[in-house]
Amino acid sequence: MNPSLNGHHPRKRANYHTVVAIVEDKPGVLMRVASLFRRRGFNIESLTVGHSEMPGLSRMTIVVDGDSAPVEQVEKQLYKLIDVIKVSDLSQEDIVARELAMIKVRCNNVNRHELLDIANVFRADVVDIATNSIILQVVGDEDKIDGLIKMCEPYGIRELSRTGRIAMVRGTKTTTVHEPEPERIARIHQTQGRRVEGDLPFSSD
Amino acid sequence: MARMTGAQMVLEGLQREGVEVIFGYPGGVVLPLYDTLPQYPGIRHILVRHEQGAAHMADGYARASGRMGVCLGTSGPGATNLVTGICTAWMDSVPVFALTGNVSRTLLGKDGFQEADITGITHSITKHNYLVMRPEEIPLTIREAAHICRTGRPGPVLVDIPKDVFQESAEFDWPEQVHLRGYRPTYEGHAGMIRRAAELIDQARRPIIIAGHGVIWSDAQDELVALAEKAEIPVITTFLGIGAFPEAHRLSYGWLGMHGMFYANMAADNADLVIGVGMRFDDRAMGRFKDFNPGVKIIHIDIDPAEIGKNFPTAVPIVGSAKNVLPRLTEHVREAKHTEWLQWIDQVREEHPSLHIRESRRMLPQYVVRTLYEETEGNATIVTGVGQHQMWAGQHYFYKRPRQLISSGGLGTMGFELPGAIGAQVALPDAEVWAICGDGGFQMTMQELAVVVDENLPLKIAIFNNGYLGMVRQWQQLFYDRNFVAVAMTQPDFCKIADAYGIRAIRVETKAEVAPAIREARAHKGPILIDFMIDQEENVWPMVPAGAALSETIEAPAEELAR
Ligand SMILES: Cc1cc2nc3c(=O)[nH]c(=O)nc-3n(C[C@H](O)[C@H](O)[C@H](O)COP(=O)(O)OP(=O)(O)OC[C@H]3O[C@@H](n4cnc5c(N)ncnc54)[C@H](O)[C@@H]3O)c2cc1C
Ligand SMILES: Cc1ncc(C[n+]2csc(CCOP(=O)(O)OP(=O)(O)O)c2C)c(N)n1
Ligand SMILES: [Mg+2]
């Protein structure tokens, strides 16, 4: 993305797809996914990962630029990764999509009130306040966040951090995986690839 | 359950997976494993001379037998030396199981002596890989890795084990079943899609089957023949599909692509329906995508859904194994005759025979391959390097059975020839295996001659000695205005090299000596090397120039035919 300040908003979104991947919570999974996207030339607009409702499984939300590759290829390639269990393209679904941003804006005693008014309109929270700056925290879809950023720009944005999108389908439909593993296997899968805690003997070979 | 060291668990696990041979090379961190090897006499270890050789041998072994090939290297340079071989197997979907040692767990991530992040390095060239941090994880990991390696679309896997994990002990808990939520290959093929495909086939007037490597992995030659015969569909193959369909069959029209037969390219380009089976529509096979046979409909049968629609839009996708899908398709299609279409291709073949070898006093490489074909009555297993000799070996030998031609297609790895052939010969100890080598490629891995001797393999090694990196020379001649740079090579005396290893050798300098030398080699019980001093400037024809479409296939120019 263009690093200049007014680079955040003219974002083209026409062909962005929201893909949710349920993946094994194992070391290296993020690298496998990221490296797949890099190698195949699929452009990632944002990627968010965290725990899901299922123990041992993480949820990745990937916003991918559909102009860089057919989303069907992206899904199929993701499925080829052994650690990827389920992939859903939410683009055709009725979804709730949210992102969180923290914006540190320059301000002073004179214009602080204006800024607070703006924050109010966007239902942004003030999470920090100092003599020359203020941190606003806002949750919403990208348009809302872009809107707030735009309004803050004239004051001077000192720092900006956005989480990238997470999304969920409305209604009863879910992307849950209902497939518990046999206990013996689950036990090994939980540790596979993870570092061993505690002291190990030193050995140089 | 028994208590075992990590090293024992690895070997026990591999043995349970049916592994009989490991191609490997020792080093510090795998010493615990080597120390344990004598306890497993059922596993034969073959000591290579370079880990790249180990990976290619495992690959050649797998391609020749259909079984999983195993290679082993130490950490750091041992592991990175395997990489070319792993990538070669990856590109051609070969089930190679690579096992590496790594530094002890305390040193992992600390740039320990001979540490290499081999799982990171091989992420994009393996189906899956594992770093094993606890001995109790070894049984499940070996089982899973082997399962992933040889099921679905086969491909390489890598298991990396720190030295102290080999040394630590735990209970050996062998899982009877594999349970991988993220890995469920589809074998069956969708019934509705199969019916739609059958309809398209019934309607087609100029159908053609393009059979690929997947038919070979699927062991589906008979099933393919049955479909082709019932609906009278001509069959061409990709280069790696050679042998998927018997080349002597009346419906066989050779193979297509950059150096495929003119008539095969024209048939593919003029068909109204392409049935791709176990092939991935590679650019070397299809020419310029955008101008391949406009208007053609494609049925694509492949076990990997990601291959479908990757390069070409597909009218009917069928995800499944060729072995399962083909018979069901055959059931549904109507018996048919395509007399006119076959006559059309026959006519093109008559006018552009492609495989005619001209009369010449020179020792033409095509003639050497053809003579080998005749002398071996078409029964030998042929393993090649990469370059002109590879293409001639594909063109002028005629193959009957799957696994008969073994060659690096997707990665095009020079140096594959000798270790690949060693692996094939180990897999098929009684078969007649010929390594057809480039004089360039041979020098990339020729140290493996020592393995031929150690293991007393009856391998026949033919060097196509043109004094050039011939394929590159051909490109410089055709596309770089004869500006020959870095392609001529001073060759060592290959016969003396063979001799130094204790391998018998023959040099062949004239056409008249070709057949007698091949006969002598066949009569000889042990290994033998023949240095064929072939014509130096022969080019491979036909050719689809780089970036051209199949319809732009060019044939040997008149001045070359007059040479
Ligand atoms: C110098 C040089 C020249 C070359 N010239 C040519 C040329 O003229 N023509 C040509 O064709 N190639 C040529 N090649 C090789 C080319 O680069 C590719 O390797 C080749 O075309 C791939 O063939 P393939 O698709 O059949 O096999 P692979 O690349 O091995 O693909 C196999 C396909 O089969 C599928 N599959 C696997 N198992 C099954 C199963 N059980 N059931 C169903 N499907 C399965 C896989 O998913 C995959 O899609 C050349 C290579 C070199 C080095
Ligand atoms: C490892 C590797 N390096 C470079 C190449 C590029 N390349 C393709 S064919 C070829 C020439 C091969 O020469 P040789 O082995 O003598 O075979 P010839 O073409 O002469 O039959 C080269 C250099 C390659 N395929 N593999
Ligand atoms: Mg050469």
Q: Which CATH number characterizes residue A129's domain?
A: 3.30.70.1150
Would the pLDDT of A5 be above 70?
A: no
Sheet holding B252-255, edge to edge: B252-255, B235-237, B207-211, B273-277, B297-302, B316-319
AA letter at B310: K
A170 — pLDDT class (breaks 50, 70, 90) = very high
| B180·A82 Cβ contact <8 A | yes
Q: What pLDDT is recorded for position A12?
A: 57
pLDDT at A9 over 80: no
Nearest to A8 by CA among A104, A148, A140: A148
Query: How is residue B473 written in tokens?
Result: 């020379």
Question: Which residue owns the Cα nearest ligand 1 atom 27?
Answer: B213
Residue A142 and residue A80 share a domain: no
Band the pLDDT of A204: cuts 50, 70, 90: confident
CB B408 within 8 A of CB B60: no
Kindly state whether residue A79 falls inside one of the protein's structural domains: yes
- Does the beta carbon of B388 sit less than 6 angstroms from any atom of ligand 2? yes
Q: Are B254 and B223 in contact (CB under 8 A)?
A: no
Closest residue in A to B178 (Cα) is: A185
Same domain, A48 and A121: no
A10 pLDDT more than 50: no
A55 occurs within a structural domain: yes
- Is residue A110 domain-resident? yes
B453 touches chain A (CB under 8 A): no
Tokens (6 digits) for A187: 């036990």
Question: What local confidence, expressed as pLDDT, does residue B30 receive?
Answer: 98
Residue B322 reports pLDDT greater than 90? yes
| A47 and A107 within one domain | no
Of A188, A191, A200, the CB nearest to B106: A200
CA distances from A110 to A9, A114, B366 (A): 27, 8, 89
Do A26 and A66 fall into the same domain?
Answer: yes
Task: State mean pLDDT over B532-557.
Answer: 97
pLDDT in tens, B490-533: 999 999 999 999 999 999 999 999 999 999 999 999 999 999 99
Distance from CA of A92 to the nearest CA of B (A): 21
Q: Is the pLDDT of residue B296 over 50?
A: yes
Q: Which two tokens stand for residue B179?
A: 């349970």
CATH number for the domain harbouring residue A87: 3.30.70.260
Partners of residue B124 in chain A, C-beta under 8 Å: 35-36, 39
Q: Is B535 touching ligand 2 by the criterion CB < 6 Å? A: no
Give yes or no: residues A20 and A86 share one domain.
yes
Confirm whether A197 is domain-assigned. no
Predicted confidence at residue A11, as pLDDT, reads 54
**A chain contacts of residue B130, beta-carbon cutoff 8 Å:** 192-193
Question: Which chain A residues touch B31 with a CB distance below 8 Å?
Answer: 205
Query: Are A84 and A137 in a shared domain?
Result: no
Looking at the 3D structure of chain A, how many domains does it have? Answer: 2
* Residues lying with their CB under 5 A of ligand 3, a single-atom ion: B 438-440, 466, 468, 470
- CA-closest residue to ligand 2 atom 2: B414
CA of B83 to the centre of ligand 2 (A): 18
Domain annotation for chain B: domains and CATH numbers: 2-172 (3.40.50.970), 191-351 (3.40.50.1220), 365-540 (3.40.50.970)
- Provide the mean pLDDT of chain B: 98
Percent of chain B with pLDDT over 90: 100
Q: Is the model's pLDDT at B249 over the cut of 50?
A: yes
Under an 8 A CB cutoff, do B105 and A77 touch? Answer: no
What average pLDDT score do residues A133-145 get? 96
Annotate chain A with three-state secondary structure.
CCCCHHHCCCCCCCCEEEEEEEEECCCCHHHHHHHHHHHHCCCEEEEEEEECCCCCEEEEEEEEECCCCCHHHHHHHHHHCCCEEEEEECCCCCEEEEEEEEEEEECCCCCHHHHHHHHHHCCCEEEEECCCEEEEEEEECHHHHHHHHHHHHHHCEEEEEECCCEEEECCCCCCCCCCCCCHHHHHHHHHCCCCCCCCCCCCCC
Residues A86 and A101 in one domain: no
CA distance B64 to chain A (A): 26
Does position A2 have pLDDT exceeding 90, yes or no?
no
Q: How far does the CA of residue A32 sit from the closest CA of chain B (Å)? A: 7
What is the layout of strands, in order, in the sheet containing B528-532? B405-406, B381-384, B433-438, B460-464, B528-532, B504-508
The pLDDT, as a whole number, for residue A140 is 97
Q: Do B105 and A179 touch (CB under 8 A)?
A: no
Chain A: closest CA distance from residue B526 (Å): 40
The reply to whether A46 falls in a domain is: yes
A82:B148 CB<8 A: yes
pLDDT at B39: 98
B136 three-state secondary structure:
helix
Task: Give the structural domain span for A48.
Answer: 11-92+175-191
Does residue A162 form part of some domain? yes
Q: Based on the domain organization, do A151 and A100 belong to the same domain?
A: yes
For B181, the closest of A181, A194, A202 (CB atoms) is A181
Q: At residue B94, does pLDDT exceed 70? A: yes
Nearest ligand 2 atom to alpha carbon B438: 15
Q: Establish, for the pair of chains A and B, how many residue pairs have beta carbons separated by less than 8 Å.
A: 100
Segment B532-542 mean pLDDT: 97
Best residue for ligand 1 mutational test, from B213, B242, B314, B324 (most atoms within 8 Å of Cβ): B213
Give the nearest chain B residue to A75 (CA atoms). Answer: B306
β-strand partners of B299: B275, B316
Are A84 and A185 within one domain?
yes
Are residues A68 and A20 both part of a single domain?
yes
Contact B133 A194 (CB under 8 A): yes
Asked whether residue A2 is domain-assigned, the answer is no
Q: What residues of chain A lie within 8 A of the CB of B309, using their CB?
A: 70, 72-73
> Averaged over A150-177, what is the pLDDT?
96
Position in ligand 2 atom list of the atom nearest CA B385: 15
- Alpha-carbon span B456 to B527, nearest angstrom: 7
Distance separating alpha carbons of residues B326 and B233, to the nearest angstrom: 13
Hey, is B191 helix, strand or coil?
A: helix
Q: A193, B134: Cβ pair inside 8 Å?
A: no
Domain annotation covers residue A185 = yes
Structural tokens at position B421: 């052939």
Q: Are residues A117 and A145 in the same domain?
A: yes
Residue A202 binned pLDDT confidence (cut-offs 50, 70, 90): confident
B120 CB neighbours in chain A (<8 A) are 28, 31
Q: Each residue of B178-210: pLDDT tens digit?
A: 999 999 999 999 999 999 999 999 999 999 999
Confidence of residue A25 (pLDDT cuts 50, 70, 90): very high
A126 and A58 within one domain? no
Q: Tens of pLDDT along B254-275?
A: 999 999 999 999 999 999 999 9
Question: Nearest chain B Cα to A184, which residue?
Answer: B175
Give the C-alpha separation, B155 to B149, whole Å.
Answer: 5
Confidence at residue A69, expressed as pLDDT on a 0 to 100 scale: 83
Rounded to a whole number, what is the distance in angstroms from the first to the last CA of chain B?
A: 72
What Cα–Cα distance (Å) separates residue B498 from each residue in B281, B521, B534? 40, 14, 19
Question: pTM to 2 decimals?
Answer: 0.96
For the segment A94-121, what is each residue's pLDDT rounded down to a tens digit? 999 999 999 999 999 999 999 999 999 9
**Of the listed ranges A195-204, B345-354, B494-503, the one predicted with least confidence:** A195-204
**Binding-face residues of A in 130-189 toward B, CB within 8 A:** 177, 179, 181-182, 184-185, 188
Terminal-to-terminal C-alpha distance of chain A: 45
d(CA A27, CA A198): 18
Q: What is the pLDDT of residues B380-407, one digit of tens each?
A: 999 999 999 999 999 999 999 999 999 9
pLDDT average, residue stretch B32-57: 98
- Pocket of ligand 2, candidates B386, B439, B443, B540: which has the most ligand atoms within 8 Å of its Cβ, to mutate? B386
- Whether the pLDDT of residue A7 is over 70: the answer is no
Query: What mean pLDDT is predicted for residues B458-481?
Result: 98
Cβ atoms < 10 Å from Cβ of B179: 16
B357 lines ligand 2 (CB under 6 A): no
**Residues of B noted as catalytic:** 51, 113-114, 163, 471
